[in-house]
Structure 1
Amino acid sequence: MKSTGIIRKVDELGRVVIPIELRRSLGIEEKDELEIYVEEDKIVLKKHKQNKTCMITGKQSNENVVLANGKIVLSHDGAKQLLDEIQNAFSIKTE
């Protein structure tokens, strides 16, 4: 792990400011989501990348669609396959 020599204090609400130089170098913008996790005795912040893996086909793509408040991720092929299965399971006929 590379040391930056930058030290920040935690405020009364538990917040720490990430210096602009680090945000710029890591591509972290205002309103970006960060994952927070612990590795041994370290707190790690990582820019969150939404998992856009289709639940049906397993295909990962930024073109996949996220539905139901993030509970369902579908690719075009996965959506078609799911639609076919739903129509068959519920005996829905398309005209």
Structure 2
Amino acid sequence: MKSTGYVYRVDNLGRIVIPVELREEFQIHHREDIEIFVNQEGIVLQKYKPSCIFCSNEEHMRVYKGKLICDEYVVISAR
């Protein structure tokens, strides 16, 4: 993992600040969703991109029974 050189303290509500330079670089705007992952090295924050729960495809998405799936799986599940 690459260090950014930024160090912030977690506040009493568990929040941290994402520096404006990083928000601009990754095009993270006010009230956008951020996804949180955990790996062996620590916590990873990533701009949320809705994707198919089966294949991670990010295009041609539909909500099917409350879940996001791509058109390919809509056809399969309709059989």
CA distance in 2, matches of 1:50, 1:14: 25
CA distance in 1, matches of 2:74, 2:41: 41
State the Cα deviation string for residues 36-91 of structure 1 (Å, max 9, x = none): 122224211112211147x7xx7x4533322443x253528945x82xx4xxxxxx
Counting matched residue pairs gives: 78
Task: Kindly report structure 1 stretches of 4+ aligned residues shifted beyond 3 Å.
Answer: 76-79
Q: Which runs of 5+ in 1 are unaligned?
A: 86-95
Would you tell me which structure has more helix in proportion to its own residues?
Answer: 1
TM-score (norm 2): 0.69
Higher-Rg structure is 1
Cα gap change, 1:3/1:65 in structure 2, threshold over 3 Å: closer, same or farther? same
Q: Which runs of 5+ in 2 are unaligned?
A: none
CA distance in 2, matches of 1:40, 1:13: 25
Tell me how large the CA RMSD over aligned residues is. 2.9
TM-score (norm 1): 0.60
Query: Is structure 2 residue 20 aligned with structure 1 residue 20?
Result: yes
Would you tell me which structure has more strand in proportion to its own residues?
Answer: 2
